[in-house]
Amino acid sequence: MKLLLKTILALGVAMHATAGEPATVRGLADQAVLVHRITKSVCLLFVGAQTPVHAEDVAASVKELSLLSASVSMQSQANAHLSQEVATLTKSAQQIVAGDRHTVPVTLLLKTNPTLAFHYSQMRYQALSQVPHKYRASYAVLHELRVVSQAFQRDLCLFLTELAPTGAERAMIERISYFKASLDALIVGNAVTGLVAAPNIHIKVILGKVASKWNTLEAILSAAASGDMIDPRDVQLASVLGDAILENLDQISDRFLAL
């Protein structure tokens, strides 16, 4: 709940965005999602999980992230540093997929991932929301959940390797708590944070689908965060569930934009 309050307060700045700003909350969340997806897919290559599939996913995600990042950078010189970080992440990922698993590309990938995630989060605070004022807090949290859904997948895979950073378990526990509290608030509302209940039956039904998948995913994540040995099959299941949740959240984003 503390993280949820922090997110809402920070995202309040985004409510004052003007139509002249090129970046949107959804567009920046899309890029953050790809940052985690690339890292997760590269990690899955290390554990030998469906190598061709994940190599193709890295290639497709790198291409999409590079295009989206270039578009934002062309619109604002202030984002030039962000573009450089994206280049570092994507080039490192491509090197690893090509067979270079030495320390340098792996370290660069793992170092750049959280840096980019943080920068995209900060940018979303000031981005154009595109939804009516009373729904902006909910819309912002919705996109935080899109990003977190992919961060879960990244971290689960890293737990299978020796690449997980110090404190990864604690961070996982905090993300689980944040996701659960935020999902509940999106469904029934939260007066403290200013989140309104699901504005229509269509959004409520899709949120219910997310909650159903979350029940299964949460158990896998909680076990990993508690230090239990992780079954690679659970990582694959979590990947499927995470992608299905992301698809549902994308649908909800479309519904909010249509309000």
Print the SS3 string covering 152-220: HHHHHHHHCCCCCCCCHHHHHHHHHHHHHHHHHHHHHCECCCCECCCCCHHHHHHHHHHHHHHHHHHHH
The answer to whether the CB of 80 falls within 8 A of the CB of 56 is no
Distance CA 151, CA 110 (A): 12
CA–CA separation, 151 vs 144, rounded Å?
Answer: 10
Would you put residue 197 in left (φ > 0), alpha (ψ -120 to 50) or beta? beta
Greater confidence (111 vs 23) lies with 111
Work out the percent of the chain whose per-residue pLDDT is above 70.
88
The dihedral through the CA atoms of 153, 255, 195, 5 has a sign that is: positive
Output 34 or 10, whichever has higher pLDDT.
Answer: 34
CA–CA distance, 38 with 189 (Å, rounded to integer): 33
Work out the percent of the chain whose per-residue pLDDT is above 90: 64
β-bridge mates for residue 195, sequence order: 190
User: Do 107 and 1 meet the contact criterion of CB atoms below 8 Å apart?
Assistant: no
> What distance in Å separates the CA atoms of residue 142 and residue 207, rounded to the nearest whole number?
10
What tens digit of pLDDT does each residue of 32-87 get?
Answer: 999 999 999 999 888 876 678 889 999 999 999 998 887 765 555 556 778 889 99
With tokens 């299964």, the residue in question is 216
Q: Tokens standing for 51?
A: 């190598």
Say if CB 176 and CB 222 are below 8 A apart. Answer: yes
| CA quadruple 57, 60, 63, 67: dihedral sign | negative
In this prediction, residues 223-250 reach a mean pLDDT of 91
Does 8 score more than 70 pLDDT?
A: no
Q: Parse the chain into domains and list their residue ranges.
A: 2-257
Structure tokens at 185: 């608030």
Determine the pLDDT at residue 11: 45
Q: What's the pLDDT band for 254 if we cut at 50, 70, 90?
A: very high
Residue 243 has pLDDT above 60, yes or no: yes
Question: CB of 125 within 8 A of CB of 10?
Answer: yes
Residue 242 has pLDDT above 80, yes or no: yes
Total-model pTM: 0.87
